[in-house]
Chains A and B, each alone.
Chain A
Amino acid sequence: MLMCLAIPAKIISLQGEKAQVDFGQGVLRDVNVSLVEAKQGDYVLVHAGYAIQVLEEKEALETLSLWSDVLAQAGQE
């Protein structure tokens, strides 16, 4: 396990501090969500069994569009 690694997962259900999350391809796991303000349907970053941050979809899309901007410039020059 990489100690600084945190993997995105989607919250399927929530019960107090525990949430069931989906890491994709049907890999489900219980994680502790006491360090974040998350709700059902959110993507969280999971590190060593605990969600440490909520992933912002808007920012994720912004990053991707920033990259395509850089590419568009590369194409022009």
Chain B
Amino acid sequence: MSETMRFRDPKVAQGIALKIREVAPKKGQVKICHVCGTHEWTITHFGLRSLLPENVEVIAGPGCPVCIVPAAEIDEAVQLAKQGKVITCFGDLLRVPGSESSLLEAKAAGADVRIVYAVSDAIEMARAEREKEFVFHAVGFETTAPITAVEALGDLPRNFSFLVSHRLIPPAMELLLGVEDLQIDGFIAPGHVSAIIGTKPYELFTKVYRMPTVVAGFEPNDVLMAVYMILKQHSTSEAELENEYSRVVKPEGNRKALEVMRRAFKVTAGNWRGIGSLDNSAYALKSSLEEYDARKKFDIKPSEGKDIHKGCQCHQVIVGKIKPNQCPMFLKACTPAKPVGACMVSSEGTCRVWAKNVAAANTA
């Protein structure tokens, strides 16, 4: 059996599910929260919720880096596009609603908006078309941010700059612990964010909040194993930081990546769609790199930003307070083809993931 197949082996899954039943409390609800769109994909795609006892719930927190980009920052990109700059971005960002227009709508209206697979593609384009100004809208959590950092410190053409909308995950996890009516009993920490930042930033949750926290990978058995490890801690009232994903995540993270981020970015307060401003939750380019900072280089009018469109419950979905199928518009007024909210736009948005796996969603 190939390695990937072994990580997905259904026999193993069944075995872990049995162990989960053994350690799960006989009464009372347990709520485990993950904060990663890819975890949500694994859970719904493989129908993992159906393997859990009824009183064990796994909910999705703000794990979609595209969904949480506030409308005001989409508005900035749209403004730049309308000024004639070439906006480059990952495909997922294209349809994320701004206050008035998405980048896709700006493109339909004649703006030059291009999808790239990697930021290096955008830089190549800028080198090839020197007469135009290129802006890369840099979105993503700590998994993606080091890529922006390493390029920002590298040798960039003068007609290239970044519109940075990177966000940090630990402050969002901390926020969840303060949300009213949302009692969380354990965290599944995101594997690929952790590959960069390591495990230390999560000590806050175990030491201060006494919250069992397990870093997990993305195969179905990784996620089940993390649920098991959390329930096991829960059963003995422990709060440990465990690493299920040691094949990728080292306690110290990726030193090279952390070093380039330290050199390129300063940590600031950042706005999250549907959540508002969180302290120390965003990266901005340091002033030494301001010639590559689109916000410094060009004239952008700040926008108030209209984050949530009428009737959309994204702000509740993002913090795990409701499930997508509890939104009256889910798969009615709001579908992947005609999304109303950001959570339905991105392939990592909780509503979109559920829509794509409707059968799983209906039984969850």
Residues of A within 8 A of B (CB): 1-6, 32, 34-37, 45, 47-50, 52-53, 55-57, 59-60, 62-64, 66-68, 70-71, 73-75, 77
Contacts and interface: CB of A to CB of B under 8 A. Distances in A.
B218 A47 contact: no
Given A48-B118, A52-B196, A71-B12, A1 B92 contact: yes
22 contacts: A1-B91, A3-B65, A4-B63, A4-B192, A4-B193, A6-B192, A32-B150, A35-B147, A35-B257, A49-B147, A50-B146, A50-B147, A52-B196, A53-B248, A53-B254, A60-B247, A63-B222, A63-B246, A67-B12, A70-B19, A71-B15, A74-B16
Contacts of B66: 3
A62 B245 CA distance: 10
A47 B192 contact: yes
A9 to B, nearest CB: 12
Nearest to A64: B6
Contacts of A67: 12, 15-16, 221, 225
A74 B18 contact: yes
Given A3-B37, A49-B118, A59-B247, A35 B256 contact: yes
A26 B225 CA distance: 31
A1 B90 contact: yes
A48 B254 contact: no
B18 A48 contact: no
B51 interface: no
A40 to B, nearest CB: 18
Contacts of B248: 45, 53, 55-56, 59
B225 to A, nearest CB: 7
Nearest to B193: A4
Chain A residues touching B, majority SS: mixed
Chain B residues touching A, majority SS: helix
Interface of B: 3, 6-7, 11-12, 15-16, 18-19, 22, 36-38, 41, 63-66, 90-92, 117-121, 139-141, 143-144, 146-147, 150, 190, 192-193, 195-196, 217-218, 221-222, 225, 228, 244-249, 254, 256-257, 260, 346-348
A5 to B, nearest CB: 5
A10 to B, nearest CB: 11
A34 B91 CA distance: 24
B19 A64 contact: no
A62 to B, nearest CB: 7
A35 B150 CA distance: 8
A52 B225 CA distance: 24
B117 A48 contact: yes
